[in-house]
Amino acid sequence: MTIRIGVIGTGSIGREHIERVTRRTSGAVISAVTDIDRALAEKAAGEAGGARVCADGAELIASADVDAVLVTSWGPTHAEHVLGAVAAGKPVLCEKPLATTAEDCLAVMAAEEAYGRRLVQVGFMRRYDTGYRELKRIISGGGIGRALMMHCAHRNRAVPDAYTTDMAVQDSGVHEIDAARWLLNDEIVSVQVIVPRSTSRRFEHLADPQFILFETADGVRIDLEVFVNCQYGYDIQCEAIGEKGLIRLPDPARAQLRAAARIGTAIDQEWDDRFSAAFDAELQAWVDSAAAGRATGPSAWDGYAATAVSVAAVRAQRSGGVEQVEMVDKPAFYA
Query: 14 or 173, CB closer to ligand NAP?
Result: 14
CB of 246 to ligand NAP, least distance (A): 27
DSSP conformation class of 143: T
Closest by Cα among 212, 265, 204 to 229: 204
Instruction: Report the distance separating Cα 287 and Cα 7, nearest Å.
Output: 13
Burial of 136 (0-12, 13-18, 19+ CB in 10 A): middle
Instruction: Report the distance separating Cα 90 and Cα 93, nearest Å.
Output: 10
Kindly tell me the sign of the dihedral angle through the C-alpha atoms of 315, 170, 132, 183: positive
CB of 71 to ligand NAP, least distance (A): 8
CB of 79 to ligand NAP, least distance (A): 11
Number of H helices, E strands in the chain: 11, 15
Query: 82 or 240, CB closer to ligand NAP?
Result: 82
Site residues, ligand NAP (CB under 6 A): 8-14, 34-37, 40, 57, 72-75, 77, 95-96, 123, 125, 171, 271
CB of 324 to ligand NAP, least distance (A): 25
Query: 275 or 301, CB closer to ligand NAP?
Result: 275
Residue with smallest beta-carbon separation from ligand NAP: 11
CB of 80 to ligand NAP, least distance (A): 7
Instruction: Report the distance separating Cα 172 and Cα 160, nearest Å.
Output: 13
Query: 125 or 193, CB closer to ligand NAP?
Result: 125
